[in-house]
């Protein structure tokens, strides 16, 4: 019995390690540069908090949240096959911004825009890897799959973060255009935003809402590849 299950276990471990190799770099790059973009735009608009705390570093360890980036995605992947998580948000002192109501929206939009740029970056990686793949397929075939994963994860983060559910970036944009009193009432639901997102995901509603927009972005990126 022990002998019979060893090949199966070895295959499962190999598959897990291969998937980890394919998915880990795009995920880490996606969350890292998403947060760097927030901090960089905030600095340009008057708030240097993130820069002073070293959060504009490209080192992923500066942005990884042990729960949101590692524990929750891992548990969800093993139990449901779905992946959902978050990075450590960059600190922004909204009062330091030169035009707080406008600049809050610009800082928020910087993250999704970074994901769009990264989706296009991975599309170009696929294009380059595919053109030279016959020369060294053992190296460039995994790179193509990594590029596909990069397009997928950045497309999802781009669309998801534009949803107007606090504390997602879309909620910051919406609050910037709402009247001040309405914005204050709107942000009272922020403590419950993560619960709302998890419920939407586990019920399949979130996937149905994301799918059309994510597919459109993926198709546009793949046109380049």
State the Cα–Cα distance between residues 164 and 102, nearest whole angstrom. Answer: 16
Tokens of 203: 């019920």
Of residues 12, 35, 44, 190, which has the active-site annotation?
35
Tokens of 217: 């972005």
35 is catalytic: yes
DSSP state of 45: T
Residue of 53, 95, 83, 47 lying closest to 157 (CA atoms):
83
- 46 Cβ contact partners less than 8 Å away, ≥ 6 residues apart: 96, 97, 98, 103
Residue 94 three-state SS: helix
Q: Where are the alpha helices (DSSP H) in the chain?
A: 2-44, 49-52, 72-80, 100-132, 137-161, 169-177, 180-186, 193-202, 205-224
- 136 Cβ contact partners less than 8 Å away, ≥ 6 residues apart: none
Tokens of 24: 């880990």
Distance from chain centroid for Cα 223: 21
Positions marked catalytic: 35
């Amino acid at each position: 019995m022990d002998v019979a299950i060893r090949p199966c276990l070895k295959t499962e471990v190999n598959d897990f390690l291969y998937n980890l190799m394919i998915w880990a770099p795009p995920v880490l790059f996606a969350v890292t540069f998403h947060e760097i973009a927030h901090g960089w735009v905030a600095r340009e608009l008057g708030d240097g908090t993130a820069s002073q705390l070293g959060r504009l570093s490209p080192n992923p360890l500066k942005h990884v949240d042990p729960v949101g980036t590692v524990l929750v995605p891992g548990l969800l992947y093993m139990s449901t096959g779905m992946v959902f998580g978050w990075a450590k948000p960059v600190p922004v002192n909204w009062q330091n911004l030169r035009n707080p109501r406008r600049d809050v929206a610009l800082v928020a939009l910087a993250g999704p825009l970074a994901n769009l740029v990264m989706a296009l970056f991975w599309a170009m990686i696929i294009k380059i890897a595919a053109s030279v793949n016959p020369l060294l397929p053992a190296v460039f075939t995994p790179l193509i799959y990594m590029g596909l994963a990069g397009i997928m994860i950045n497309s999802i983060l781009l669309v998801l973060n534009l949803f107007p559910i606090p504390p997602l970036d879309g909620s910051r944009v919406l609050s910037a255009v709402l009247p001040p009193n309405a914005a204050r009432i709107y942000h009272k639901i922020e403590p419950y935003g993560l619960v709302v997102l998890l419920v939407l995901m586990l019920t399949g509603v979130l996937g149905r809402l994301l799918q059309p927009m994510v597919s459109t972005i993926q198709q546009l990126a793949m046109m380049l590849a």
